[in-house]
Amino acid sequence: MKTKITELLGIEYPIVQGAMAWIAEHHLAAAVSKAGGLGIIAGGAAPVDVIREEIRQARAITDKPLGMNIMLLSPNADDLAQLAIDEKIEVLTTGAGNPGKYMADWKNAGIKVMPVVASVALAKRMARAGADAVIAEGMEGGGHIGELTTMPLVPQVVDAVDIPVIAAGGIADGRGMAAALLLGAEGVQCGTVFLASDECCISEKYKELVLKATDISTVVTGRPSGHPVRSLKTPMARKCLELEKANTEQSLEELEAATAGSLRKAVQDGNYEEGTFMSGQIAGMLHELRPCADILQGMTAQAEELLRHAYKRFE
Ligand SMILES: Cc1cc2nc3c(=O)[nH]c(=O)nc-3n(C[C@H](O)[C@H](O)[C@H](O)COP(=O)(O)O)c2cc1C
């Protein structure tokens, strides 16, 4: 499938594997890139040496284009910005902030820059700052989210900017992909669907919970703090909601202490009681583990089929 995104990034399928802190490491990113999508290594708050090693390990598996994600408010952002140049990363996605101050250096290094945006205003600002594309992410998705859902966000961003738009949030199969393309997107970014992939190195418990999830299995916590997060309804998520509701100085302190490191506890330890199992609403559509290559091929083939024949349903 050829779109402006496959051409811009030099990839086969217009599918980007979204950054996922603690999760999107070299096994997953390399598997997606090798199979023809764009794999992304999540910078998160990890030390630069760790991310350098992840990039090099991914490069040892595939020479296809590779992406990296920088959370711009992270203390390591300056170092990761330079690391991307040193390691000749082809594509950068950015979140939580404005990449403006790095843009000239990244451009000189030939890096394609795709900020994640949750509003039209931010999309326009990123386009003005020189972004090559934007990733419009709806709040159906897993992890940190904005306020708008994908369906209204994507076409409004498409209308507002003249660079390619990638749709993210709630896309896990060819139906979602075809819908996103019809809304004007040139590609999709998926996170949750890759939690249910063979190459994703999360705990068995995490995978089990994702596969067991239904349409109403996720919940949003963190709204009062201004940093909402979508995750599976587990004891930890329920505890967060209770502490947020209590809204006392003591409960908010307890909340901060409980959530610190809780994604790592889910990813590495499979700690059901204390972990935060971030996931999008489409977890309810995932019923089996698949290789990344199958996910990419299946999604694209279904989208192509639907786009080619959709009109027949209405004849
Ligand atoms: C477990 C998890 C962790 C995530 N961590 C990050 C992150 O570190 N940086 C980021 O930009 N996006 C992060 N995201 C968002 C994804 O990159 C992607 O945009 C989102 O998952 C798309 O929606 P979906 O979950 O419906 O596929 C995360 C998503 C999940 C599910």
Same domain, 63 and 173: yes
CA–CA gap between residue 195 and residue 200 (Å, rounded):
6
- The verdict on 108 and 145 lying in the same domain is yes
Helix (H) or strand (E) holding 6: helix 4-9
Q: Are residues 137 and 58 in the same domain?
A: yes
Q: How confident is the model at residue 313 (pLDDT cuts 50, 70, 90)?
A: confident
pLDDT category of residue 217 using cuts at 50, 70 and 90? very high
Range of the domain at 66: 4-199+291-313
What would the DSSP string read from start to end of 51-94?
A: HHHHHHHHHHH--S-EEEEEETTSTTHHHHHHHHHHTT-SEEEE
Q: Are residues 39 and 90 in the same domain?
A: yes
94: CB partners within 8 A, 6+ apart: 69, 70, 71, 72, 113, 114, 115, 116
Q: In the prediction, which pLDDT does 2 show?
A: 94
CATH of the domain at 38: 3.20.20.70
Mutate to test the pocket of ligand 1, among 23, 28, 144, 201 (most ligand atoms within 8 A of CB): 144
Predicted confidence (pLDDT) at residue 314 exceeds the cutoff of 80: no
67 and 190 co-located in one domain: yes
pLDDT, residue 44, reads 85
Q: Contact, 241 vs 223, CB < 8 A? A: no
Q: Is 300 in the pocket of ligand 1 (CB under 6 A)?
A: no
Residue 19 beta carbon below 6 angstroms from any ligand 1 atom: yes
pLDDT tens for 123-171 read 999 999 999 999 999 999 999 999 999 999 999 999 999 999 999 999 9
Domain count, the chain: 2
pLDDT in tens, 3-56: 999 999 999 999 999 999 999 999 999 999 999 999 999 998 889 999 999 999
| Beta bridge pairs of residue 102 | none
Q: What is the pTM of this model?
A: 0.96
Average pLDDT over residues 191-220: 98
| pLDDT recorded at residue 311 | 76
Distance of alpha carbon 177 from alpha carbon 295, whole angstroms: 12
Could you tell me which residues are beta bridge partners of residue 42?
A: 69
Measured in Å, residue 143 CA sits from the centre of ligand 1 at 5
Indicate whether residue 25 lines ligand 1 (CB < 6 A): no
For residues 245 and 176, membership in a common domain is answered with no
pLDDT digits (tens, 9 = 90+) for 236-290: 999 999 999 998 889 888 888 889 999 999 999 999 999 999 999 999 999 999 9
Q: Is the predicted pLDDT of residue 312 greater than 80, yes or no?
A: no
Contact 76, 43 (CB under 8 A): yes
Residue 96: the pLDDT is 77
Q: Is residue 137 within 6 Å of ligand 1 at its C-beta?
A: yes
Q: Whose CA is nearest to atom 24 of ligand 1?
A: 141
